[in-house]
Structure 1
Amino acid sequence: MSDFATHGHGPGTSGGKIRDVEHILKDELARGDKALRGVPPVLTHLLASSGQAMVSDAIVARLRGMLEALAGQLLAGKGDQSPEGREIDQLCDSLAGDSIVLSYCYALAMEALLTERLEQRASLDPVLSPLMQELIASEDAATGELAMNALAAQSRFIQSQRRMDLPLSELPAELFHAVLKRWETQNRADPAIAPAVKALKLSYDEGSSRVGLLARLVSAMRGGAIAALDLEHAGLALFVSALSALSRQPRELAILACHERQAARLALSLRAAGLEPEAIERQFLLLDPAERLPTGIGSIDRNRAAELLSNANPQGAER
């Protein structure tokens, strides 16, 4: 972060100095992306062993809980109401071997921990934010109903994370179908798998998931969605959904941008979403008062910020 403090420049920067700011931001973004690419292998190792401390115990515990919950639901789907621990462990190991599943669960765990941190440090309600209250009271009945459903889903998410649980129905569609395909492929000899997969697919509705509801709510806000980029007013869940939509990147990356050592991604994301430097600084202060805002961010316009983000590669070959 020291480069930001020593080389940043304001909105009136000349062309050469703007290029300097871009270069610093790209370097910091690349370092942040490299750190994100290193997360799944480390987590896979930690989940396969005990007594390690490279990642916080809270994160590892939540990941184990979520993977066990997914495994239990899959086995219950084919009629195993009380599956043996060995079966769950084997299926957990299989899920943990999928870096995309693991990365998604990691992002959810980070969201839950960030939500708890913001509640403790800044008294942000983890469920009912001021903006959510306004949307519930909207004169548009459809928006009000959508906000109520999103509120209920957020409440369930907080409870699920406290139990270290993850309902299958809360997975994004692409990941949901990938998990089912992986499970079916690895168990072709079991005649109960195919009908179980079919039943799970029939009961799945991405639009009613928490992330789906939040995305629909942001979309319903249209041009007013930028109001959700005020973290204190919107709450973390709505904030990252709006940041994802307005900066055109996956929601998981919007969550991870809020974590420490991802200052370049967060600053560029907020700039690409349309915020001015003063508003960006307020979000930084709320998320981590010790984190330094890139002082030259005002010299990067919205389109260029989006371009820098689109050229980044936080997921390596999986992108």
Structure 2
Amino acid sequence: MSDNGQSGASALSMEDDLHASLARGNVTLASATPILQHLLENHDRTMFSDEIIARIGGMVMHVARQIHDLLEANSEKEFDGSQFVDLSKAFASAISGNSEFLTHLHALAIETQMTERLSERSGLDPVLSPLLQDFVASGEEEVATAAMRALAAQARFVQHQRRMELPLSELPEPLFDLLLRYLDELGGQFVDTNKIAPSLRAHYDPAKARTAQLCAVLKAMPYAPVHALEIDHAGVAFFLTALHLASGETRDVLALALCESQVARLSLSLRCGSAETSEISQLLSVLHPDVKVPEGVAGLDPTTAVAMLAQTRMDQ
């Protein structure tokens, strides 16, 4: 190819890059206004605080980095380092662009924030709550063993959250499956994903995840779910798990319902678990001292509360 030909090709390539950059800029500009409007209209800074956004971003990058490291370790070819950097960005973009993935990360960030808030306000241990202490000290070996597993899982969770990390082993199964799909779509150019995916799945056991360990403890003790609905005694982790079992709402939705703007959803979920108005009021006073139980909740029976939540379920 002549020098003129090379120059022409280079110019076209630069024009393509400019077009792509402009297109990305258009997407950003188009989304900026609705995002700003939402933030300005939403007075609940708990849900979208700088801390929450940073924690979500940290978890996105940690998940992407784990996949990046896995691909790099299994690659049989020599690749430019920038290619792997671009791949990490592609994974991060795919994760943050998926609403289910983002909702899960948001829920974990809110759970962590509320756990830290209760620790600061009342000295509630983020790992070993009074309820979990009771379980660990149980005379029933099955309960005590399950409690120790839950204790270890919660301790790992707290440490990971402080570092803004999320191990792949802690992903809910649908999100783990989604990640394998991303691995195949984005990583296939670097490695044989048919070899990596089975290995990843073989080492993945949802029964060992933290939420499964929390559920196992509550199901082992007949009275546990009732006491676990006392958030200042059970801790946020057990509270969310118990309320999930009682109301049928997903744990992620319930974690988001801990925010002040979601008091109605939280109150209805508690009514699904047969909580009295006084108990709902007590819980709200712990989370949001200036917030009262929404009008109308007191007159609802659990069956009606379940039906009302089902009609407006976020995960449908």
Report the TM-score, using the length of structure 2 for normalisation: 0.80
Match of 1:194 in 2: 194
Contact kept? 2:264, 2:294, Cα under 8 Å: yes
Matched, 1:161 2:161: yes
Please give the alpha-carbon distance, in whole angstroms, between the structure 2 residues aligned to 1:222 and 1:74.
41
Match of 1:246 in 2: 246
The Cα shift of 1:110 comes to: 0.7
Contact kept? 1:77, 1:200, Cα under 8 Å: no
Match of 2:24 in 1: none
Match of 2:171 in 1: 171
Q: Which among 59, 72, 76 is matched to residue 66 of structure 1?
A: 59
Contact kept? 2:277, 2:298, Cα under 8 Å: yes
The Cα shift of 1:187 comes to: 3.7
Over residues 31-86 of structure 1, what are the superposed CA-to-partner deviations in whole Å (9 max), with x where a residue is unaligned?
Answer: xxxxxxxxxxx9xx69xx9xxx8732211211111011111111222344898433
Please give the alpha-carbon distance, in whole angstroms, between the structure 1 residues aligned to 2:86 and 2:54.
19
Letter of the aligned partner of 2:117 in structure 1?
Answer: R
Please give the alpha-carbon distance, in whole angstroms, between the structure 1 residues aligned to 2:141 and 2:184.
42
Cα 1:60–1:287 change in 2 (3 A) is same
Please give the alpha-carbon distance, in whole angstroms, between the structure 1 residues aligned to 2:88 and 2:182.
15
Over residues 157-180 of structure 1, what are the superposed CA-to-partner deviations in whole Å (9 max), with x where a residue is unaligned?
Answer: 111111011000001112111221
Over residues 184-214 of structure 1, what are the superposed CA-to-partner deviations in whole Å (9 max), with x where a residue is unaligned?
Answer: 1344444432211111100001111111111
Match of 1:57 in 2: 50
Please give the alpha-carbon distance, in whole angstroms, between the structure 1 residues aligned to 2:125 and 2:223.
25
Over residues 257-279 of structure 1, what are the superposed CA-to-partner deviations in whole Å (9 max), with x where a residue is unaligned?
Answer: 11111111011000101211111
Q: SS state of the match for residue 160, structure 1?
A: helix
Q: Which among 68, 74, 98 is matched to residue 75 of structure 1?
A: 68
Match of 2:95 in 1: 95
Match of 1:212 in 2: 212
Please give the alpha-carbon distance, in whole angstroms, between the structure 2 residues aligned to 1:75 and 1:158.
24
Please give the alpha-carbon distance, in whole angstroms, between the structure 2 residues aligned to 1:90 and 1:188.
13
Please give the alpha-carbon distance, in whole angstroms, between the structure 2 residues aligned to 1:211 and 1:302.
25
Q: SS state of the match for residue 298, structure 1?
A: coil
Letter of the aligned partner of 2:253 in structure 1?
Answer: L
Gaps of 5+ in 1: 1-41
Q: SS state of the match for residue 222, structure 1?
A: coil
Letter of the aligned partner of 2:152 in structure 1?
Answer: A
Contact kept? 2:87, 2:186, Cα under 8 Å: no
Q: Which moved more, 1:85-94 or 1:259-268?
A: 85-94
Please give the alpha-carbon distance, in whole angstroms, between the structure 2 residues aligned to 1:250 and 1:57.
25
Letter of the aligned partner of 1:313 in structure 2?
Answer: R
Q: Which moved more, 1:68-77 or 1:104-113?
A: 68-77
Contact kept? 2:71, 2:190, Cα under 8 Å: no
The Cα shift of 1:223 comes to: 4.5
Over residues 109-151 of structure 1, what are the superposed CA-to-partner deviations in whole Å (9 max), with x where a residue is unaligned?
Answer: 1111111111112222111111000011112111111111111
Cα 1:224–1:117 change in 2 (3 A) is closer
Match of 2:4 in 1: none
The 5 Å alignment of 1:87-126 reads 87-126=87-126
Matched, 1:149 2:149: yes
Gaps of 5+ in 2: 1-27, 41-47, 75-80
Match of 1:233 in 2: 233
Please give the alpha-carbon distance, in whole angstroms, between the structure 1 residues aligned to 2:117 and 2:204.
32
Please give the alpha-carbon distance, in whole angstroms, between the structure 1 residues aligned to 2:146 and 2:224.
16
Aligned sequence identity (%): 35
Aligned-residue CA RMSD (Å): 2.3
Q: SS state of the match for residue 109, structure 2?
A: helix
Please give the alpha-carbon distance, in whole angstroms, between the structure 2 residues aligned to 1:216 and 1:174.
20
Structure with the bigger RCO (C-alpha within 8 Å, sep 6+) is: 1
Please give the alpha-carbon distance, in whole angstroms, between the structure 1 residues aligned to 2:57 and 2:88.
11
Please give the alpha-carbon distance, in whole angstroms, between the structure 2 residues aligned to 1:301 and 1:276.
10
Match of 2:257 in 1: 257
Higher-Rg member (1/2) = 2
Cα 1:224–1:156 change in 2 (3 A) is closer
Q: SS state of the match for residue 294, structure 1?
A: coil
